[in-house]
Chain A
Amino acid sequence: MLESTPDGAEQTSLFPDLHVAVLRASDVLPDMGAAFERLGPRLREGRTPGANRSAIIATGPSATADMGALVRGAHGPREVHVVILEGGEVDE
């Protein structure tokens, strides 16, 4: 889940060919249901100024089948790597 932040986290994950996402193991959720349980309150309370009210659920590289075959790397990244940090803390 990529939030839209004033420092451009969303664009950073969109324009380059390679996107590496780093997240805590404790932030891995079991399924879509759990994701929306978390998203609902977040997007609602986010209506206060300064908080992030938008998020992208990204599941992999951008892709298209519009040119006659499946191609990875359409308008967004061609490659996505997810690094999961077990146990430790992420520097915010």
Chain B
Amino acid sequence: MSESRSAKAAEIRRLMRTEGDAVARGTRGFNLGRYESVADLEDYEELKDRAREIKEDAIERLPELIDRLRERVEENGGTLYVAEDAADANRYVRRVAEDRGAGRLVKSKSMTTEELDLNDHLEAAGIDVVETDLGEWVLQVADESPSHIVAPAIHKSREEIAALFNEVFEPDEPLETAAELTAFARDELGELIAGADVGVTGANFVTADTGTIALVTSEGNARKTAVVPDTHVAVAGVEKVIPSVEDLRPFVELIGRSGTGQDITSYVSLLTPPVESPTVDFDDPDAPMADAAAERDFHLVLVDNGRTAMCEDDQLRETLYCIRCSACSNSCGNFQSVGGHAFGGETYSGGIATGWEAGVEGLDTAAEFNDLCTGCTRCVNACPVKIDIPWINTVVRDRINRGADPSAFDPLVEGLTPDAEPAGMSLQKRFFGNFSTVAKLGSATAPLSNWVANTGPARELMERTLGVDRRRDLPAFERETLRKWFDARGGSRVPAAAAAREAVVYPDLYTNHVQVDRGKATVRALEALGVHVRVPAVASSGRAPLSQGMVETAERHARDVYGALAEHVDAGRDVVVVEPSDLAMFEREYAKFLPETSHERLAGSSYEAMEYVYGLLRNGADASALRGAADAESAGVAYHSHCQQRTLGLEAHTVAVLEELGYDVLTSETECCGMAGSFGYKAEYYELSVDVGEPLREQFTSPEARGRTIAASGTSCLEQLESLLSRPTRHPIQLVAPRGGD
């Protein structure tokens, strides 16, 4: 393995060992909570649409909104300052603190001030800075950085926090329970807040019609930070401005549910500073508050720091809609295993961090962790503002590839990589991105190719040059591809004239070269239901290059695929896709590559194999023509749907068909199997991919799953399950297709 790859693998291994368990417990709890909480929302989809609309509109006319906001804030008696970059913002806040003669400044949680490194800057000026959010305070005491955008100390267990406090503060009675730790922190921080001169808060939203800052919190520290000291500074990115108070509604309903699975947080503070509340004199607790003169000072600092440039960037703009709820972290298999210290940049973490870090810090920072997004899309439906987070990761990966050093060009791999990509990108990426060429060669020379590839020296070479982990079994290429088999049997057994429908089975790369049996089963199942089938020559979907960030190559594939399938669609034939990640390409990414009508026609005619069977059965086809549980090795099935298939809402169709045929189906509870295409093959990520698959392994080896046939829809999932369970796996279509003699 190359040095940088083994260093990366070692760092991931270390974080999985030291922080992985706490992160997994926390994020999986939040993620489950999200499912439960949004299930109660009748208008969940409408709220997300509305939230998205508000953000799109606000970012579109941001300068105008900031002007209006400035008027309001000034009318209210405060000051609005737009800071160009971090240094500018830090300077301004320091000046406010110094003018106030501040000895101590208290803060409530704000990722934006983390982005600015505000604390360091103020401390260098001799100001005592105290974080009052309990999680942030733990990190301040431990001198660590946040590993999650909402629960910053998620990587620390209660035991670790107790040990830390006992060591640092030496309380009379050692602290142990969460309640004791909380009470201790409350008392310590309560005093520090009481004696503070300036309070700095963030803002989840700022309304331009009133100059109100909305803070979504549960601890109550933000309320104290804002109203106890007489000087309040709110720091927020410019993208936090929305037009009106009423626009807050969808966000308030969505943010807690999407993030931590709370229907609503304890407090949503709508502060229009300077607030009317009197200041409290803690030295004279008997004095009525109402007598205190409310001489308050308020500064709103809106931070640009790269955001205006993001507004202009057609691909990164979406990032600015992000309300930092953390759903994309919690729903991510990789994040659940490693947390934000690996899956994150300078400040932000999780799937959307790629967009934030690319925009705020630059590509180099994003490049450090961007590979951890495998494009599984489990975050897509979870995002309350409907950001296409995997797409942002792909685009940034493409930019990173293009920025790479072209002198790393290798003529040997070039032969295998007929792509349109820059010469400097990593060999590993090019190898996986051009898997179609590898597969063609593999089948043409099978079984020799499989034998050679699996020899020790070959695996070592592959690991060293391409970063393919030698612990992973390689796909075994079939000499007879699906298309060859289909031609050899003389095409479809159902004549077109007698057919109820006509369909094209799309010979995706894996079904055609590796998992040929599931292709054959698809043909047989469709024919059993009266469908005339064709298996024409069609280019690979472009999924492989896209996953490596090779956008231009993927786009070329999209055009080729459409070119080959258009005549079939025109002739009224349905397109049946076995590999869910390829169907997801047709449905999602092709929207970005093809003209709108072309995309709609192709996507509208394409079906996942079991979805198609489901549709045929619903339209009157005879289920008894298929094979049922009575004729199976086991009537029990443990089924893991594919991540992208679930994002498309197509898991239920497979389960329904299997159940109709008498199978008893146990479905997996995991977001992603961890394999995610090429990811699990990569030497630096192999162990992580196995760790992500761990909950799935546990569930499918539990007593509940004993004796069941293991089924999965995606190639990667089948490979991952086979290696995790050391048991054979099937595609569901193989359970329902009549046994074939051909």
Residues on A lying within 8 angstroms of B by beta carbon are 4-11, 14-15, 32-33, 36-37, 39-40, 43-44, 46-47, 52-71, 73-77
- Inter-chain contact A56/B249, CB cutoff 8 Å: no
A4 with B182: in contact, given A47-B75, A63-B266 (CB under 8 Å)? no
Across-interface contacts of B219 in A (CB, < 8 A): 62-64, 66, 74-76
**Number of residues of chain B lying within 8 A (CB) of chain A:** 62
In the complex, the answer to whether B266 meets A4 with C-beta atoms within 8 Å is no
Contact A36 B186 (CB under 8 A): no
Task: Known contacts A8-B290, A56-B269, A68-B161; decide if A75 and B190 are in contact (CB<8 Å).
Answer: yes
Decide if B220 touches A14 in the complex (CB within 8 Å): yes
Q: How many Å lie between the Cα of A55 and that of B270 in the bound state?
A: 5
Contacts of A9 in B (CB 8 A): 277
CB <8 Å contact, B268 and A62:
no
Q: A65-B151, A76-B220 are in contact. Are A46 and B272 (CB under 8 A)?
A: yes
Minimum distance in angstroms from A41 CB to a CB of chain B = 9
A69, B178: Cβ atoms closer than 8 Å:
yes
Report Cα–Cα, A53/B298, bound state, in Å: 14
- Other A-B pairs beyond A6-B278, A40-B244, 6, CB < 8 Å: A4-B275, A8-B280, A11-B278, A57-B268, A63-B219, A68-B157
Q: A8-B289, A59-B265 are in contact. Are A53 and B272 (CB under 8 A)?
A: yes
Tell me, in angstroms, the Cα distance from A56 to B220 when the chains sit together: 11
Name the contact of A54 in the complex, choosing from B267, B273, B290 (C-beta under 8 A).
Answer: B273
Q: Tell me if B189 and A36 are in contact (CB < 8 A).
A: no
Q: How far is the CA of A47 from the CA of B272 in the complex (A)?
A: 9
List 20 A-B residue pairs with CB atoms under 8 Å apart, sorted by A's residue number: A4-B276, A6-B290, A10-B275, A11-B278, A32-B264, A33-B249, A36-B248, A37-B246, A40-B244, A40-B245, A43-B207, A47-B72, A47-B272, A58-B266, A62-B218, A64-B134, A65-B260, A68-B157, A74-B134, A74-B218
Q: Which residue of B134, B158, B245, B277 contacts A36 across the interface (Cβ within 8 Å)?
A: B245
Q: Is the CB of B185 within 8 A of A67?
A: yes
| Alpha-carbon separation in the docked complex, A17 to B267 (Å) | 16
* CA of A33 to CA of B84, assembled, Å: 36
Residues of B within 8 Å of A52, CB to CB, are: 276
Q: Which residues of B contact A5 (CB under 8 A)?
A: 276-277
Q: Which residues does chain B contribute within 8 Å of A77, judged by CB atoms?
A: 220
* List of A residues within 8 angstroms of B270 by Cβ: 39, 43, 54-57
> Which residues of B pack against A, CB within 8 Å?
72, 75-76, 132-135, 138, 151, 153, 156-159, 161, 177-179, 181-183, 185-186, 189-190, 207, 209-210, 212, 218-221, 223-224, 227, 244-246, 248-249, 252-253, 260, 264-273, 275-278, 280, 289-290, 294
Do residues B267 and A57 form an inter-chain contact, with CB atoms below 8 A? Answer: yes
CA–CA, A5 and B292, complex, Å: 12
Contact of A47 among B156, B210, B252 (CB under 8 A): B210
* B234 CB, nearest partner CB in chain A, Å: 12
List the count of A-B residue pairs having beta carbons below 8 Å apart.
175
Least CB separation from A60: chain B residue: B266
Minimum CB–CB distance from B29 to chain A (whole Å) comes to 9
User: CB-CB < 8 A to B248: which residues of A?
Assistant: 36
**Known interface pairs A64-B218, A68-B158; A59-B224 also in contact (CB < 8 Å):** no
Q: Is A7 in contact with B290, judged by CB distance below 8 angstroms?
A: yes
Shortest Cβ gap from A63 to chain B (Å):
5
> Across the interface, do A44 and B245 meet the contact criterion of CB distance under 8 Å?
yes
Residue in contact with A75 in the complex, picked from B157, B220, B252, CB distance below 8 Å: B220
A66:B153 contact, CB within 8 angstroms: yes
Q: Which residues of B contact A59 (CB under 8 A)?
A: 264-267
Provide the bound-state CA to CA distance between A37 and B260, in Å: 26
A44/B276 in contact, CB under 8 A: no
What 8 pairs between A and B have smallest CB-CB spacing? Answer: A68-B158, A76-B220, A66-B135, A53-B272, A8-B289, A75-B220, A74-B219, A69-B178
* Residues A54 and B209 in contact, CB atoms below 8 Å apart: no
Whose C-beta in chain B lies nearest to the C-beta of A43? B210
Complex Cα spacing A70 to B219, Å: 11
The residue on B at minimum CB distance from A5 is B276
Complex CA gap A37/B245 in Å reads: 9
B243 to chain A: closest CB distance in Å? Answer: 11
A6 engages B277 (CB within 8 Å): yes
Residues of A within 8 A of B223 (CB): 10, 14, 56, 75-76
Residues of B within 8 A of A33 (CB): 249
Whether A75 lies near B277 (C-beta < 8 A) is no
Contact check, B245 vs A39: say whether CB atoms are below 8 A apart.
Answer: yes
Contacting residues, chain A, for B267 (C-beta < 8 A): 56-59, 62, 76
CA distance A75 to B72 in the complex (A): 31
Q: A62-B266, A67-B134, A67-B161 known; A36 and B278 CB under 8 Å?
A: no
- Report the bound CA distance from A32 to B40 in whole Å: 14
Query: Given A40-B245, A67-B158, A68-B158, is A10 in contact with B210 using a C-beta cutoff of 8 Å?
Result: no
